[in-house]
A and B are shown apart, each in its own frame.
Chain A
Amino acid sequence: MVSQARREGFPQNIWPVTSDGSPVEAQLENASSGAYHGYPMPDTDPFSRQVLLKLRRVNE
């Protein structure tokens, strides 16, 4: 899952899911190199459930 907002062609945010099913949020840190800074999304972030739901729909 990626954000619509982009900088120099890179999505501002991406939301991957780890192999053990944990959602992660990553922000574009360096738009020249396309480097991201990522961190796990806590259960208290309601958007984490949307990330998991989206992944489930894609995999169906």
Chain B
Amino acid sequence: MSNTFAIDFEWLERFTPDEAERVTFADIKITVGGVVITELEDVNAKTIRPAARLSAYAMALWLLGNWWRIVREPERGLSESWEMSHRLGAIGQGFLWPDLSFNSDGSALLVRMNATPPSSRQMVRYLNGVCEVVSLAAFEATVLSFVDAVIGRLHSMSCKTSLLQDLRENIVEERSNPLSVQW
């Protein structure tokens, strides 16, 4: 089993009225099993980049908001509800998210990334597909570390929202409760 699931990022400047989104806009690079799944072709700029320009805040909120479904819920036939909680593209908000999904069997995650199909007219085309098993421990550690960095960024930029911090605390509390974890 591969343990590699990594999220690297660099903060960027962005002009948007939403404060949390403005200060957490970032170049985000996600690596799964050694494959940089965020490597993309920017059709307008005619460049290939390893990272996608996305909202780290929106991504952190989605990952925590769907935490238990992502780490515990297997795929029982595709449904809209399942996809909204397991496919990164459900974050929306005007960003072109990689077509990345997480499918748990309770002890490991099958992480699947679909490259942008050649027929797509998207101006940003993700180049690498992957289907890799990642340990839950590695996934959880990476996500919590990423969330902590986003929370730190919000604090350092004096952004007053506490939603992410509250979600983080709830999950830590639930993880320490064996009954919650067994769900």
Question: Nearest Cβ in chain A — how far from B113, in angstroms?
Answer: 11
Contact residues in A for B89 (Cβ distance below 8 Å): 42, 44-46
Determine the residue in chain A with the shortest Cβ distance to B91: A45
A41 within 8 A of B: yes
Contact of A27 with B97 at beta-carbon distance under 8 Å, contacts A42-B122, A46-B83, A50-B80 already known: no
Question: Nearest Cβ in chain A — how far from B92, in angstroms?
Answer: 5
Contact size range, A: 10 to 19
Question: Nearest Cβ in chain B — how far from A14, in angstroms?
Answer: 13
The number of residues on chain B lying at the interface, defined by a beta carbon within 8 Å of a beta carbon of chain A, is: 17
A6 within 8 A of B: no
Interface bits A29-55 vs B (CB < 8 Å: 1, else 0): 110000001010111111101100000
A residues within 8 Å of B by Cβ? 25, 27, 29-30, 37, 39, 41-47, 49-50
A-B contacts, 30 listed (Cβ < 8 Å): A25-B92, A27-B93, A27-B94, A29-B17, A30-B17, A37-B94, A39-B94, A41-B92, A42-B89, A42-B96, A43-B120, A44-B87, A44-B89, A44-B97, A44-B98, A44-B99, A44-B114, A45-B89, A45-B90, A45-B92, A45-B97, A46-B80, A46-B83, A46-B87, A46-B89, A46-B90, A47-B84, A47-B90, A49-B80, A50-B80
**Beyond A25-B94, A45-B90, 15 extra complex contacts between A and B, CB < 8 Å:** A27-B94, A29-B17, A30-B17, A37-B94, A39-B94, A41-B92, A42-B89, A43-B120, A44-B87, A44-B97, A45-B97, A46-B84, A46-B87, A47-B84, A49-B80
